[in-house]
Amino acid sequence: MTVVGQDDVKLPARGILAPARRVLVHAGTLARLQRELARSELQRKGATAAAGAALAVAAGVLLLYALGFGLAASAAALALVVDWWLALLILFVVLLVVVVLLALVSGSLLRGVTPLKPEKALEEARLTKQALRSTGGE
Protein backbone atom coordinates (compact mmCIF):
# COMPACT_ATOMS: atom_id res chain seq x y z
CA MET A 1 0.00 0.00 0.00
CA THR A 2 1.29 3.50 -0.89
CA VAL A 3 0.28 7.06 0.05
CA VAL A 4 0.18 9.83 -2.55
CA GLY A 5 1.34 13.21 -1.21
CA GLN A 6 0.70 16.76 -2.40
CA ASP A 7 3.36 16.53 -5.12
CA ASP A 8 2.25 13.05 -6.25
CA VAL A 9 5.28 11.46 -4.59
CA LYS A 10 4.45 7.89 -3.58
CA LEU A 11 5.65 6.90 -0.14
CA PRO A 12 5.14 3.63 1.67
CA ALA A 13 2.23 3.84 4.12
CA ARG A 14 3.99 1.91 6.87
CA GLY A 15 6.14 3.29 9.64
CA ILE A 16 6.81 6.94 10.19
CA LEU A 17 7.08 8.06 6.56
CA ALA A 18 3.37 8.74 5.98
CA PRO A 19 2.88 10.87 9.11
CA ALA A 20 6.16 12.68 8.41
CA ARG A 21 4.96 13.49 4.89
CA ARG A 22 1.66 14.85 6.27
CA VAL A 23 3.55 17.04 8.74
CA LEU A 24 5.71 18.41 5.91
CA VAL A 25 2.67 19.13 3.75
CA HIS A 26 0.89 20.87 6.64
CA ALA A 27 4.00 22.88 7.53
CA GLY A 28 4.32 24.06 3.94
CA THR A 29 0.67 25.05 3.84
CA LEU A 30 1.00 26.86 7.14
CA ALA A 31 4.05 28.78 5.93
CA ARG A 32 2.24 29.77 2.73
CA LEU A 33 -0.80 31.00 4.68
CA GLN A 34 1.41 33.05 7.00
CA ARG A 35 3.12 34.66 3.99
CA GLU A 36 -0.29 35.54 2.55
CA LEU A 37 -1.36 37.06 5.88
CA ALA A 38 1.82 39.14 6.03
CA ARG A 39 1.34 40.30 2.42
CA SER A 40 -2.26 41.38 2.99
CA GLU A 41 -1.37 43.19 6.21
CA LEU A 42 1.43 45.12 4.50
CA GLN A 43 -0.89 46.03 1.62
CA ARG A 44 -3.46 47.43 4.06
CA LYS A 45 -0.83 49.47 5.92
CA GLY A 46 0.62 50.68 2.62
CA ALA A 47 -2.79 51.93 1.52
CA THR A 48 -3.18 53.92 4.75
CA ALA A 49 0.30 55.39 4.32
CA ALA A 50 -0.57 56.36 0.75
CA ALA A 51 -3.74 58.11 1.95
CA GLY A 52 -1.74 60.07 4.52
CA ALA A 53 0.85 61.04 1.93
CA ALA A 54 -1.90 62.10 -0.49
CA LEU A 55 -3.39 64.35 2.16
CA ALA A 56 0.02 65.91 2.78
CA VAL A 57 0.44 66.60 -0.95
CA ALA A 58 -3.10 68.00 -1.10
CA ALA A 59 -2.24 70.33 1.79
CA GLY A 60 0.77 71.60 -0.13
CA VAL A 61 -1.16 72.18 -3.34
CA LEU A 62 -3.96 73.91 -1.50
CA LEU A 63 -1.42 76.09 0.25
CA LEU A 64 -0.11 77.30 -3.10
CA TYR A 65 -3.57 78.00 -4.49
CA ALA A 66 -4.66 79.64 -1.27
CA LEU A 67 -1.66 81.92 -1.23
CA GLY A 68 -2.08 82.91 -4.86
CA PHE A 69 -5.80 83.48 -5.24
CA GLY A 70 -6.92 83.97 -1.66
CA LEU A 71 -4.41 86.64 -0.74
CA ALA A 72 -4.99 88.62 -3.88
CA ALA A 73 -8.80 88.71 -3.72
CA SER A 74 -9.27 88.78 0.03
CA ALA A 75 -6.55 91.32 0.69
CA ALA A 76 -8.09 93.64 -1.85
CA ALA A 77 -11.51 93.32 -0.19
CA LEU A 78 -10.12 93.63 3.32
CA ALA A 79 -8.01 96.62 2.31
CA LEU A 80 -11.24 98.58 1.87
CA VAL A 81 -11.76 98.34 5.64
CA VAL A 82 -8.20 98.36 7.05
CA ASP A 83 -4.75 99.22 5.80
CA TRP A 84 -3.12 96.95 3.18
CA TRP A 85 -0.46 95.57 5.52
CA LEU A 86 -3.05 94.59 8.13
CA ALA A 87 -5.26 92.95 5.49
CA LEU A 88 -2.33 90.83 4.28
CA LEU A 89 -1.36 89.88 7.84
CA ILE A 90 -4.88 88.75 8.73
CA LEU A 91 -5.13 86.54 5.64
CA PHE A 92 -1.70 85.06 6.28
CA VAL A 93 -2.71 83.94 9.79
CA VAL A 94 -5.97 82.37 8.53
CA LEU A 95 -4.16 80.41 5.82
CA LEU A 96 -1.51 79.29 8.29
CA VAL A 97 -4.18 77.83 10.59
CA VAL A 98 -5.68 75.83 7.68
CA VAL A 99 -2.26 74.44 6.70
CA VAL A 100 -1.49 73.42 10.28
CA LEU A 101 -4.81 71.56 10.55
CA LEU A 102 -4.19 69.66 7.30
CA ALA A 103 -0.65 68.79 8.39
CA LEU A 104 -1.94 67.46 11.75
CA VAL A 105 -4.51 65.23 10.06
CA SER A 106 -1.97 63.82 7.60
CA GLY A 107 0.54 63.29 10.43
CA SER A 108 -2.00 61.35 12.45
CA LEU A 109 -2.75 59.10 9.46
CA LEU A 110 0.94 58.47 8.82
CA ARG A 111 1.61 57.70 12.50
CA GLY A 112 -1.14 55.07 12.42
CA VAL A 113 0.79 52.84 10.02
CA THR A 114 4.13 52.71 11.82
CA PRO A 115 5.87 50.41 12.27
CA LEU A 116 5.40 49.09 8.77
CA LYS A 117 5.67 45.38 9.56
CA PRO A 118 3.12 42.56 9.47
CA GLU A 119 2.39 42.42 13.22
CA LYS A 120 -0.52 39.98 12.98
CA ALA A 121 1.42 37.56 10.80
CA LEU A 122 4.44 37.69 13.12
CA GLU A 123 2.20 37.06 16.14
CA GLU A 124 0.54 34.13 14.37
CA ALA A 125 3.94 32.64 13.54
CA ARG A 126 5.03 33.04 17.17
CA LEU A 127 1.86 31.33 18.44
CA THR A 128 2.26 28.50 15.94
CA LYS A 129 5.84 27.99 17.02
CA GLN A 130 4.74 27.87 20.68
CA ALA A 131 1.98 25.39 19.87
CA LEU A 132 4.35 23.11 17.97
CA ARG A 133 6.86 23.17 20.80
CA SER A 134 4.25 22.44 23.45
CA THR A 135 2.78 19.49 21.54
CA GLY A 136 6.21 18.13 20.68
CA GLY A 137 7.16 17.68 24.34
CA GLU A 138 4.15 15.48 25.21
Residues 6+ apart with CB under 8 A from 81: 87
- Look at residue 112 in the predicted model and tell me its pLDDT: 75
Name the band, by pLDDT with cuts 50, 70 and 90, for residue 101: very high
> If you average pLDDT over every residue of the chain, what do you get?
82
Dist. CA 44–CA 36, nearest whole Å: 12
Name the band, by pLDDT with cuts 50, 70 and 90, for residue 1: very low
Dist. CA 114–CA 49, nearest whole Å: 9
> Domain coordinates of the chain in residue numbers?
2-136
Cut 0.85: pTM above it:
no
Residue 98 has pLDDT above 80, yes or no: yes
